[in-house]
Structure 1
C-alpha cells in the first residue's frame, strides 16, 4: 500500500518516530478502554442502582462530557508543557476514578462524579495526536494519525472484556474498576520509556493566540464535523449495550459482545479513512462517508429492524463514522499545522460533547417517547447536514484541502483564517 506521494506506508511511518507512534497508540488505547468502562458496564450498574431510562442515558453520557471539558484543558497544557509530560500525568490521575469505582460508587451521584473524572482518560486524544503529528510530514499525517487514533479500539476491550470479567468470572462491576488499574500502570511505564517529544515542537505561547484562534471559522466547521463523526461513534459505543438489552432483550453479556462488533468496525477502519483521505482528499472522502452514515442511521431509526439485520446495519454505520474520524484528522493538521495541540483539544471536545448529547437524547427519547429510533434518525439527519456543509464550503477550501500530491506549497495557518495557498515547508511545521 502506498501513500499519496507514492511512498510505501512502512517507509512513510519510519520517516517519523515509530516508538512514539506505538506508545501513543497504546496510551490512547488503554485510555479509551478506561473512558468507556461505564458504558460497557452500564446494564449492570443500572440494574444494581435501579436507574430509570433517562438516568441510564445520563450515566453513560457523563464520561463523554468529562472528556469534552478536559480535552480543551489538555490541549492547552500539551502545547505549553509538551504532550509527553501531560500524558504521563493523565495516566496517573486516571487511577483516582478507577479506585473510587472499585471501593465506592454506591449511589447514582457518586457514579456521575466517577464518570466525570473518567473524562481525563477520554481527553487523551488531545495528548496522543499532537505527540504523533509533530513527528510526521504532511504527506504522512493521515496514516500516522489514523494509526494513533485507532487507539479508540480500547472501546472494544472495554465493551467485550468488562461484562465478561464482571459476569462470567464473577468480579462484579466494582471489581472490574479495580482490575483496570493494572493495565494503566503498565502503560504508564511503557509510555515513559518509549515516547519522545519532537525536537521541532513549537515554543509555548500565551493565551492571546488561542483566543484569536476562536475567531477562525474553519475551526468551528471542524468542530461541527467531529461532533457528528466522533460524537456518533462514542455515543453509540456507550449506548448500544443498553439498546440491545432493553429493546432486543439480550443479556448484559450478549449486549456487550454485539456492541463490540460495531466498535471493532469503527476503530480499526479509522486509519483506512486517513489513508484514503491522503490519497483522494479528506473532504471528498468525508462527504461520501457522511452520506453513507446518514442513509444507514435514518434507515435503522425508521425501521428498528430485527436483531439479525440490526447488527450488520449498525456495524456499517459505525464503520463509516470511524473512517470519518480519520478523514477529519487528516485535514486538521493541514489547516492548523502550528497549533495542532490546542486545535485537537477544541475539536476533540466538540466530538465528546456530540457524544454526550447523542447519548442523552437516546435515553430521553426512550424514557419520554418510548422509542429508540428517533435518536438514530436525528444522527442521520445531522450527518446529512455535514455533507451539505462540505458542499457549501468546498470552493473556499480547495486551496489546501485537495489530495496532497495535487497541492502547491502552502504557508502555516494564520489566526484570522487567511492563507496564501502554498503548502507548509517541512522546516516550518516541524522546526527542522
Structure 2
C-alpha cells in the first residue's frame, strides 16, 4: 500500500513523528467540546416540548435542525482544511461555535420556537469539526496506524455523551442561561489551547487549488460516494439515536429529562468506545469485514429495540449493543477512506463523506416523529425502516468488498 494512495508523507512505524500524540489529543479535545455544543438542543428537547407545547413533528424538527448545517458544512470545511490546515481551522470553528450556543440560550429564554430553529440551524457550525480532524490526524500517522488514530480521534463524538449527561444537570444546578454561557466559555478556552498547543504535521502540504474544482474532483471518485453511503448509515444512525433518544425514552419508557439524558449518555459512550476499536480491528482484519459485523448487528438490534424490551436490563443492553455495532462501523468507514482516498483529496473526501454521515442523522428523527404511534407509545415503523436500511448497506458492503478484492483500484 503506497502513501500516495492513503495519505500524506512517508512516515514509518519505526520512526513516528514527534508530537503526534499531543496533536491527536488536542484534536480529540476540540472535536469533543464542539460536539457537546452541537448536541446541546437534543438533551433539552423534553424541556422545550413542555414549555413551548410542541408537537412530535415540531420537536423532531428542532432536534434535527443543527444536524443539517453540521452535515452540509463539512463539505466546505474539509476542503478548507486541505488548504489552511487543521490548527487554524480547529481554532476558528471552535471559537465561532460559542456564538450560536449563546443565541440558542437567548431563544430558549424568551420562549421562541422560530428563533430556536434559526439559531439551531446556525449551531450546526459546531458539527463541522469532524471534517477537520480526519485529514489532520491522517497526516500525522503512517498508513498502518491510521485506522486506530482516526478511530481514536472519532471518539470525540463522545461530546454527545457529555452533552446528554451534563447539560440537563447543568440546567438543574446552574440554570438554563448559565449552562449555555459555561459551554460557550469552554469553547473559547479550548480554541485558545488549540491555537497555542497544536501544530500541523510537518508532512502536511497545503492544497491551494480552488475549492470548487477540488470538490468536483472528489465527487468524481467512486470511493467518495461508496463511503458516503456507508457512513450515512453507521454514523447517521449514531447521530439520530444520540439526538432523539431522550425523546424516545420519554415517549416509550416515561423517563424524566435527567433519566433520559443519563441513559443517552450511556448509549453514546458505548459507541465512542467502539469507534477506535472498529478502526483497530479494521487495521487487522480489514474495514469491509468490520462493517459487515456492524451492519448485521445493527439490523438485528433495530428489530429487538422495536419489541420495546423491558427496562432496565433488557432495554439497556439492547441500546448498548446497538451503539457498539454502530460505533464499530464508524471506525471502519474512515479506515477505508484512509486506505483508498488520494492523499491530496483526503480532506475534501472526508468533508463529503462526513456530510453524508450527518445527513444520515438528520432524517431519522423526522421519520421517527412522523411515524410515532402515540396511542401505543411505539416507534416500530421507524425502527423497521432502520433494519431494512442496515440490511441494504450490508449487501452493498459485501458486493463492494468482493469487487475490491478482484480489483484493488476500486
| TM-score normalised to structure 1 length | 0.86
Q: 1:126 maps to which residue?
A: 131
Give 1:395's aligned residue. 402
**CA–CA separation in structure 1 for the residues paired with 2:223 and 2:148:** 22
Match of 2:55 among 52, 72, 83: 52
Bigger mean CA deviation after superposition, 22-31 or 335-344: 335-344
Contact preservation (8 Å) 2:79, 2:214: no
Say which is worse superposed, 80-89 or 339-348, in terms of deviation: 80-89
Kindly state the Cα deviation for residue 210 of structure 1 after the two structures are TM-superposed. Answer: 2.7
Distance 1:11 1:293, change over 3 A: farther
- Shift in Å, 1:182: 2.1
Aligned to 1:145: 150
Stretches of structure 1 lacking an aligned partner (at least 5 in a row): 1-9, 402-418, 422-432
Out of 34, 38, 45, the residue aligned to residue 37 of structure 2 is 34
TM-superposed deviation, 1:147: 0.9
Provide Cα deviations, 1:283-316, integer angstroms capped at 9, x if missing partner. Answer: 0111111101111112212x12222222210110
Equivalent residue in structure 2 for 1:107, among 88, 112, 117: 112
Per-residue deviation at 1:117?
A: 1.4
Q: Secondary structure at the match of 1:37?
A: coil
User: Given the alignment, which residue of 76, 84, 88 partners 2:87?
Assistant: 84
1:347 partnered with 2:327 = no
Q: Answer yes or no: is 1:220 the counterpart of 2:225.
A: yes
Alignment equivalent of 1:365, drawn from 329, 351, 371: 371
CA distance in 1, matches of 2:367, 2:261: 21
Cα 1:210–1:73 change in 2 (3 A) is closer
Assess if the C-alpha contact under 8 Å between 1:294 and 1:379 holds in 2: yes
Partner of 2:271 in structure 1?
266
Cα distance, 1:86 vs structure 2: 1.5
Specify whether residues 145 and 254 from structure 1 end up closer, same or farther in structure 2 by C-alpha distance, changes over 3 A only: same
1:385 aligns with 2:368: no
**CA distance change for structure 1 residues 242 and 192 in 2, over 3 Å: closer, same or farther?**
same
Q: Distance in 2 between matches of 1:97 and 1:367?
A: 34
Q: How many residues align?
A: 391
Alignment match, 2:191: 188
Q: 1:252 to 1:319 in 2, by over 3 A?
A: same
Q: What RMSD over aligned residues (CA atoms) do the two structures have, in Å?
A: 2.0
SS in structure 1 at match of 2:351 = helix
1:123 to partner: Cα distance: 0.5
Scaled by the length of structure 2, what TM-score is found? 0.91
Instruction: Give the C-alpha shift of residue 15 in structure 1.
Output: 6.8
- What SS is found at the alignment partner of 1:204? coil
Which piece of structure 1 moves more, 54-63 or 365-374? Answer: 365-374
Structure 1 position 369, deviation (Å): 8.8
Paired residue for 2:382? 375
For the 8 Å contact 1:53–1:367, the answer to whether it is kept is no
Q: CA 1:380–1:134 in 2, change beyond 3 Å: closer, same or farther?
A: same
Task: Give the CA deviation at 1:398.
Answer: 2.0
Q: Secondary structure at the match of 1:51?
A: coil
Sort the Cα spacing of 1:12 and 1:118 in 2 relative to 1 into closer, same or farther, 3 A: farther
Deviations 1:229-269 (A, max 9, x none): 10000100000101111221111111111111111100122
- Deviation per CA, 1:304-356, whole angstroms, max 9, x where unpaired? 22222222101100111011100111110111141111111100000110100
1:307 alignment partner, SS class: coil
What CA distance in whole angstroms lies between the structure 2 residues aligned with 1:333 and 1:12? 20
Instruction: Map Cα deviations across residues 188-225 of structure 1 (whole Å, 9 max, x no partner).
Output: 12111221112222332233243132122221111110
Deviation string 1:176-196 (CA, Å, 9 cap, x unpaired) is 212211211221121112211
Equivalent residues of 2:68, 2:359 under 8 A apart:
yes
2:243 to 238, 249, 253: 238
SS in 1 for 2:41: helix
